[in-house]
Amino acid sequence: MLNYRSFNVLILSLLAWVPLAGAANKIGYVDMNALINQSPQILAANQTLTAEFEEQNAQISEQETDLKALEETISKEGNFMTPDKLAELQERARILERQVRRAKEDMKDAITIRNSQLVDDVQNQIKKVVAQYAEANGYDAILINAILYANDEIDITDEILQQLRSEYASNQ
C-alpha cells in the first residue's frame, strides 16, 4: 500500500516522465472537498436524508418526551407511591430508556449507511463531470487533494462546480 510520501514520489515521477515522452502537458487540479461540500447534489442528498429519517426521529423524540415525563413522575411522586407501584414505574422507565437508546443507535447506523450511499452517488457524479470536462478541454491529467501545491491557473474546481450546478439544474 502506498503511503503519502511514496504517493507524492510516484506522482512527481510520472509528471517528470510525461515531458520526456513528448506529450503535451495540460494538467488540472480539483479540490474534491470543495466540490462535495458545495455541489447542489450533496445539498439535495442531505435534504433527502433528512426527509427519509424525519418520521423515525419524531418517534424517538416522542419516546424521549414520554421517558422524561415518567422520570418526573417517579421523582415527584415516588415517595408517595407503594413500593410495588414505584418499582413498576422504574422498570417501565428502564425499558423505555433502553428502547430510546437502541432506537437512536439504530437510526444513527441507518443514517451512516444511507449517507455513505448518497455520498458515493454524488462522488460518482463528480468523477463523471470531471472526466467529461477534462476530455472536452484537452486535459492530460486532473489531480485532486493529494498534492502539496497547485497553481491557481490549473485549479478548475470552480469550473467543475459550475458544471455540477448546470447538470443538477437540468435534471430538475
Where are the domains positioned within the chain?
A: 22-171
Report domain 22-171's class. Answer: alpha beta
Give pLDDT tens digits for 90-130.
999 999 999 999 999 999 999 999 999 998 999 999 999 99
Among all chains, which residue has been given the C-alpha cell 415516588?
78
With a CB cutoff of 8 Å and minimum separation 6, the contacts of 87 are none
71 close to 93: Cβ distance less than 8 angstroms: yes
Give pLDDT tens digits for 32-72.
888 888 999 999 999 999 999 999 999 999 999 999 999 99
Dig out the grid coordinates for 79 from the structure: 415517595
In degrees and rounded to multiples of 5, residue 153 shows phi and psi of: -65, -25
128 close to 89: Cβ distance less than 8 angstroms: no
| Amino acid found at 35 | L
